[in-house]
């Protein structure tokens, strides 16, 4: 059976960059992603602008994903989507044996756990369903910005996602109402200030009391909230509802492995700053990892990916260089330089 040097579980930013860097270090790599698409959590916000990745202009998350995928494919890794790892064993020869939901078995010398926060399901709320039916104008992410033009948009939530959607939709929608049950919004201070001092109507310390549906029960046409400070109710007409109440994380990998993987603080893997877990040959990176000084940003995921791949290389070959060469001098990239320069010459 074919044996991979590196198997990356998870196809988000951390996993995709790990694929590129594994190829740079001349290792045979595969990515296994449970969802039918790559990009991880960024797919939930495909139209939102990514600002905080160094060296690239601000761009929609969906476009950023495509850049990551193209880079990940540089060294022709094996990519498996719509396939979930549901079992891990350590074999006598030292390789890890993976079983998947497709009934497949794979062997790998090392494992990179880039599983993010696990498989995300939206937290159930009264906004989502009525008598088991999905409500048409309720969503967790905006896919079609054109559809939001001149609409009254009600956003429920107070974290960074709610703030981002409010800021993005303010110049597009007829009206944006941001409602949060707690006392103060949570997120980047500058973004909160921009939203609360701008055209968005921001309401804190308010709870959902009732939602009024259209006669066919398919759509919310009004929302009634209770202002906790005054104990007064207010009914707000709405066209679209965006719910930012977080997600339930499911990571069955911690329950279905025979190598000793354990969950830390509900869904993290405890690691060293070099992404090493307590299990030799297994590394955790990106949002899945927890260590002192961990940065939960895309930039932090790239940093983790480099450390994880370098550590995997040393695990496989203790005589290898501890750090990969600068890409400028990588022999396996030299053949691609002419193609890249040609691309820039035609732009």
Inter-helix orientation angle 13-24/61-72, to 10° = 30
SS (H, E, C) the chain: CCEEEEEEECCCHHHHHHHHHHHHCCCCEEEEECCCCCCHHHHHHCCCEECCCCCCCCEEHHHHHHHHHHHHCCCCCEEEECCCEEEEEECCCCCEEEEECCCCEEEEEEEEECCCCCEEEECCCCCCEECCEECCCEECCCCCCHHHCCCEEEEECCCHHHHHHHHHHCCCCCEEEEEECCCCCCCCHHHHHHHHCCCCEEEECEEEEEEEECCCCCCEEEEEEEECCCCEEEEEECCEEEECCCEEEECHHHCCECCCCCCECCCEEECCCCCECCCCCEEECHHHEECCCCCCCHHHHHHHHHHHHHHHHHHHCCCCCCCCCCHHHCHHHHHHHHHHHHHHHCC
Query: Known binder of ligand: residue 168?
Result: no
Query: Known binder of ligand: residue 191?
Result: no
Query: Known binder of ligand: residue 41?
Result: yes
Query: Known binder of ligand: residue 183?
Result: no
Query: Known binder of ligand: residue 250?
Result: no
Query: Known binder of ligand: residue 91?
Result: no
Query: Known binder of ligand: residue 287?
Result: yes
What's the Rg (C-alpha) of the chain? Answer: 23
- Could you list the residues known to form a binding site, using ranges: 33, 41, 45, 85, 120, 287, 328
- Could you list the residues known to form a binding site for FAD, using ranges: 33, 41, 45, 85, 120, 287, 328
């Amino acid at each position: 059976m074919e044996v991979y040097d590196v198997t990356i579980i998870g196809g988000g930013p951390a996993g995709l960059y790990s694929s590129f860097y594994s190829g740079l270090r001349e290792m045979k790599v595969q990515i296994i992603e449970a969802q039918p698409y790559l990009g991880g959590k960024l797919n939930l916000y495909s139209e939102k602008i990514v600002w905080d990745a160094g060296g690239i202009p601000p761009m929609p998350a969906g476009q950023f994903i495509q850049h990551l995928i193209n880079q990940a494919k540089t060294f022709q890794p094996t990519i498996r989507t719509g396939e979930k790892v549901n079992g891990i064993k350590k074999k006598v020869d030292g390789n890890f044996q993976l079983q998947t939901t497709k009934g497949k078995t794979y062997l790998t010398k090392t494992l990179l756990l880039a599983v993010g926060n696990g498989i995300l399901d939206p937290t159930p709320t009264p906004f989502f369903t009525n008598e088991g039916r999905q409500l048409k104008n309720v969503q967790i992410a905006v896919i079609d910005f054109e559809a939001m033009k001149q609409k009254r948009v009600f956003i429920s939530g107070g974290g960074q996602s709610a703030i981002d959607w409010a800021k993005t939709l303010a110049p597009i929608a007829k009206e944006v109402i941001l409602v949060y049950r707690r006392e103060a919004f949570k997120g980047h201070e500058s973004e909160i200030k921009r939203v609360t001092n701008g055209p968005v109507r921001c309401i804190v310390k308010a709870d959902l009391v009732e939602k009024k549906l259209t006669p066919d029960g398919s759509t919310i046409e009004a929302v009634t909230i209770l202002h906790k400070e005054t104990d007064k109710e207010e009914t707000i007409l709405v066209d679209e509802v965006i719910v930012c109440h977080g997600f339930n994380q499911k990571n069955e990998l911690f329950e279905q492995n025979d190598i000793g993987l354990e969950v830390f603080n509900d869904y993290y893997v405890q690691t060293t700053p070099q992404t090493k877990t307590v299990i030799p040959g297994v590394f955790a990176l990106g949002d899945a990892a927890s260590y002192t000084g961990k940065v939960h940003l895309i930039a932090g995921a790239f940093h983790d990916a480099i450390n994880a791949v370098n550590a995997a290389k040393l695990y496989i070959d203790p005589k290898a260089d501890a750090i990969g060469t600068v890409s400028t001098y990588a022999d396996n990239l030299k053949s691609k330089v002419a193609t890249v320069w040609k691309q820039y010459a035609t732009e």
